[in-house]
Amino acid sequence: MSIVRRLCRFALSVSCCGLLAANAHAQGVATYPNGPIRFIVPATAGGTTDIVARLVGKHLGDAWHVPVVVENRAGAGGVIGATVLVASPPDGQTVMFVPSAFGVRSAIDRNLRYDPIRDLAGIGLQARSPSFLIVSPSLGVKNVQELIALGKATPQGMDYGSAGVGSTAHLHGALFAKMSGFKAVHIPFKGTPEAVAEVMGGRLKYAFSPGPNALPLAKEGRILILASSSAAGARFLPGVPSVAQSGLPGYESEDWFGALVPAKTPDAIREKLSREFARIIALPEVQASLLGIGAEPVTSTPAEFDAMLKAYIAKTRKLAEEMNITVE
């Protein structure tokens, strides 16, 4: 057999293999989803991440006529849940909903057994949310400037709490003290509810808290919200200024919530999930539910989310290094 004929047969074989692979890929996307979909939430039940996942899961299951199972895999700033996700098949049947705390942990933990950029792929954003600077009414301060004055008058350091070392609330609180020019002492807790309870009881001077933990207590008068962490304030709390508007221009430390799948998940599946998630987030009842817990509904494409996560990790790593925030 001539060399030319052998080369032609080889080229034809390669071409056929490529067509078969493309056909199999197309069939897989066309039949997706082909069973129950698992939503991993790397946080405890009842928080914003969990609420977002369950809202999306309910409407997704109704629209696609498949069971959607939400699994809470809390711990280690999202590392436990992410480890499960990385080990899952890249077929779109397993999705993880993540808060910005996941990005923080990814930025400061140098001992991760996975690469958040290389091993995971984005679906998109679902919400953004300011955290709220809270104090006890018994503290006697009524605004951000009075809290800063108290901090500067406390040379031994003013205690503040968070949901743990490397949590978003830790960064919010440390950045606030750094920009305000007073010494602060970080007290980590197992979760946000414990930190908020310590502020409410007057044992901590301040904390930054997500909406679900802060808003109900503020309505009851058990805590006082001084400001929001977003640059422009929160549109659902028109009477509450932002930290930046309260005398610290440039302060901005907003939380976000998005979804990820294992890397190598077909782009068509990622895009199908992203479009459906965006449709669900746009539903009036979903928007009302999110605004009710202090979260602004937003959406993005998979590519936009990938770029945002990469930039967020880089920015947070630099900030954490400047403030000497590390996690073992």
Q: Could you read off the pLDDT of 193-241 as tens digits, one per residue? A: 899 999 999 999 999 998 888 989 999 999 999 999 988 777 667 788 9
Instruction: Please indicate, yes or no, whether residues 72 and 89 belong to a single structural domain of this protein.
Output: yes
Query: Per-residue pLDDT for 22 more than 50?
Result: no
188 belongs to a structural domain? yes
**Rounded Cα distance, 72 and 98, in Å:** 11
Q: Which residue has the higher pLDDT, 15 or 234?
A: 234
Structure tokens at 95: 């999705």
Whether the per-residue pLDDT at 85 is higher than 60: the answer is yes
In the three-class reduction of DSSP (H, G, I as helix; E, B as strand; rest coil), residue 34 is classed as coil
Angle between helices 302-322 and 267-281 (to 10 degrees): 80
Mean pLDDT of 277-295: 94
Host H or E run for residue 187: strand 184-188
CA distance 108 to 104: 6
DSSP SS3 for 96: strand
Same domain, 144 and 166: yes
- 22 lies in a domain? no
More confident residue, 52 or 44: 52
pLDDT in tens, 107-124: 999 889 999 999 999 999
Query: 281 and 235, same structural domain?
Result: no
pLDDT tens digit string along 267-282?
A: 999 999 999 999 999 9
Q: What is the CATH number of the domain that holds 227?
A: 3.40.190.10
Residues 144, 214, single domain; the answer is: yes
The residue whose two tokens read 């700033």 is 77
Residues 124 and 52 in one domain: yes
What predicted TM-score, i.e. pTM, was given to this entire model?
0.82
* pLDDT beyond 80 at 19: no
In a domain, 81, yes or no: yes
Identify the weakest region by mean pLDDT among 73-87, 157-171, 190-204, 231-245.
231-245
Residues 264, 219 within the same domain: no
Same domain, 272 and 228: no
Q: What is the pLDDT of residue 167?
A: 87
Q: How many domains does the chain have?
A: 2
164 has a pLDDT exceeding 50: yes
- Taking Cα atoms as reference points, which of 246, 112, 253, 293 lies closest to residue 169? 253
Q: How much is the average pLDDT of 38-55? A: 92
Q: Which residue segment(s) compose the domain that 119 sits in?
A: 35-129+255-322
Q: How far is CA 244 from CA 18, 232, 283, in A?
A: 56, 8, 32
Q: What is the pLDDT of residues 132-154, one digit of tens each?
A: 999 999 999 999 999 999 999 99
Task: Give the per-residue pLDDT at 71.
Answer: 96
Q: What is the pLDDT of residue 223?
A: 97
Cα 229 from Cα 176, distance rounded (Å): 9
Does residue 115 share a domain with residue 54? yes
Q: Are residues 120 and 148 in the same domain?
A: no
Domain boundary among 184, 215, 246: 246
124 and 264 in one domain? yes
Q: Are 305 and 124 in contact (CB under 8 A)?
A: yes
54-77 average pLDDT score: 94
Q: Does residue 7 fall inside a structural domain?
A: no
**Encoding tokens for residue 216?**
């109900």
Residue 63: left if φ>0, alpha if ψ -120 to 50, beta else—which one? alpha
Rounded Cα–Cα distance for residues 5 and 285 (Å): 65
Does position 51 have pLDDT exceeding 70, yes or no? yes
Instruction: Measure the CA–CA gap between 158 and 185, rounded to whole angstroms.
Output: 6
265 and 285 share one domain: yes
Lowest mean pLDDT across 5-19, 48-62, 240-254: 5-19
Report the mean per-residue pLDDT for the chain.
89
The confidence band for 14, taking pLDDT boundaries of 50, 70 and 90, is: very low
For the domain that residue 116 is a member of, what is the CATH number?
3.40.190.150
- Average pLDDT (5-14) is 51
Provide the pLDDT for residue 328.
65
Looking at the domain assignment, is residue 25 inside a domain? no
pLDDT at 26 > cutoff 70: no
